[in-house]
Amino acid sequence: MGILNVTPDSFSDGGCWTDVRTAVRHAFDMVDQGADIIDIGGESTRPNSEPVSAEDEIGRLEPVLRELIPSLNVPVSVDTMKTSVAERCIDLGATVVNDVNGLRDEGMVELCASTGVHAVIMHMNGLPKTMPAAMEGDFMNDIRSFLRERTAVALDAGMRPDRIILDPGIGFGKDPEQNWAILNGSAYFSDGYPVLSASSRKRFLAVEFPDMDRDDASAEAARIAADSGADIVRVHDVARTRLRVSGSRPARSR
């Protein structure tokens, strides 16, 4: 899953892809490098980030989606916590909702069920603006219990089981040691559903891999996640990750 942040304040690439033409070109570059999904986000969820309105988020996403979706040959995912934003993006052709808030916004789970999109249900400890530094107690079990509870809600709302993807939420209110345990234990969270691992360019990698640059460290983390049972890795540098995770395979031609 290639990351396309059309935000001015994302933690590692804020402002890089806010121009529509540049963003669309970058998405096609990631597909050429081997991305199977493009995940586009219009609101930063880094720790201490300020929330934006649904109108502002849609304003960032819609121009890119209008250009991208008709000509892209891979699914487009929208990274949003807001039901109204997800609904607009689905109307424009997005087929995956990547929700760091676990489909908890009013109407979100019903929207995903009724439209038949895939949904990534993620665990987040707190909210971006007030996120704690770590979880307490048996954090691995607590994350899995949350994902099971939200999965049950999604199924009760009518979501098809083959449309559900689970993300334990690396970096979202966990400390470096906890992030490392989650990274190495991807399969623990599966319960038969695909697991998405998203550690790319997150700060704890600098502790674990002090001699690597951030994209080499991110690629190595993706390899570890895949080896530990992750089915999808969400990354900034698709080419470097693909080489590390899968070996040198021909990139997809557009």
Instruction: Give the residue numbers annotated as catalytic, written as ranges.
Output: 202, 234
Residues 6 or more apart whose Cβ sits within 8 Å of residue 89:
58, 61, 62, 65, 78, 80, 97
Residues 6 or more apart whose Cβ sits within 8 Å of residue 61:
6, 40, 42, 78, 80, 85, 88, 89
Q: What are residue 241's phi and psi, to 5 degrees?
A: -65, -45
Torsion of CA 98, 103, 104, 108, to 10 degrees: 100
Helix (H, G, I), strand (E, B) or coil at 117: coil
